[in-house]
Structure 1
Amino acid sequence: MRGPAAGLLILLALYAAFSLFKVRLFSLSPGFDRADDTAFFWSESAFQYRYAKMVSAGAAIPEIDTAAQFPEGARPREEFTLGMELLSGGLYRLLFAEGRGPPFHVYLTWFISFYTSLTLLAAYGLGLGLGGSRAGALLAAFFYVSARISWARAVNGFNYEDFALPLLFGGLALFVKAMKEEGKARTIYSVLSALLAAAALAGWHFSRFYLLVFTAAAAAVLLPRRDGDRALVPL
């Protein structure tokens, strides 16, 4: 096996191994009990887990939630970004509609592990888009995996930033790809990049700061140049 097929196989094997590594770390957590989710998550992760579990059970997220903020109550759909909770809980309900699946918190260890590892694929895409070499893109993916920060916060957490990062990385990779395309292909990649950015905003409110910096940097590069968007290709 040579060329693109071999590179794809290596990438998928790395993705699977990285994801299963995180699943294993979850299972080794002192707070993990397959039969009981009490105190498995804490702080904001527990806060977000509560809403995700509501969605997984088919319960409606309350319009005014006094359990989240007493006595006046919070308005979750207006005040919080619920993209992560809706996706994780909704997928569980879709997969295990008859109630035969694992406990929700056990499922969530797999969801978090495999979902957050999508950033690895985005790192590969960025490496390929910027360098043009599959070997260089695989090296970028390996460097990402080897950094402890790439998995340390995701394990034992249910965090908005971990939900948004694959979307932000993926959106950036698609943006770079769009800048190297012409015509209809450029439009398609640009739209996909924008959709991932919008999804990141729906999942993590701090995504707006990344997008502000990104927009300012793109404008600073593009506006003074006669060659317009082609100026971004070397970046």
Structure 2
Amino acid sequence: MTIIDTPSPNFDERTLPISMIVLHYTGMQDSASAIARLCDAEAKVSSHYVVDEDGTVLRLVPEDKRAWHAGRSHWRGTTDINSASVGIEIVNPGHEFGYRPFAGPQIDAVIRLVAAIKERHAITRGNVVGHSDIAPTRKRDPGELFPWSKLAKLRLALPRPTRNLMDPMWTEGGFLLALERFGYEVIEPMAAIMAFQRRFRPELIDGEVDAECRMILLALLLPKPQGDDD
């Protein structure tokens, strides 16, 4: 895969080994604006990679450095997500500027990039996450249109469980405890529930705990969640 070096000054040293991949959308009107901001020293934001809509991959920060893409975030007990992760920005205007499906060549490039990073650092499927997973009170990206199922079919992300589902009949409090055990921060319950839905039940994001949400989460907590994409 051809990668174009486009250095950003916005990075520092890691303090943790790489154990995660975080996927974002750029959320700006075009790729040029997004890349300019990620390379602007005054903006103090960056990512390791940017994937444009035509499949072009730019490297802004070397993987051994800490890019500034996650902000205040949390996943499975880790709070310095920037130190523990590789950040990939995927060009898309996002919810603010006309959110749209991701282009085929773009997703093909994301898949190749994620596969290479995942293998290089022995990252588990459960640690390939979206920005909304690690920052549910602040972020919605890469959003409900991101085709997680395509990554799951290649074992690059967790599948949406669809087989052997059972309803544990948790209360909302029980669901939130299970959600926290899975990895989410649940300080703001509705935000955490919606982030979970956006990732694993994107056709209905209402912040309500129902039987389907309970069944999906229970299956995800099992050693081998089974889904059509698995």
* TM-score grouping bracket, smaller chain normalisation: under 0.3
Tell which structure's C-alpha radius of gyration is larger: 1
More strand by share: 2
More helix by share: 1
TM-score scaled by structure 2?
0.28
TM-score scaled by structure 1?
0.27
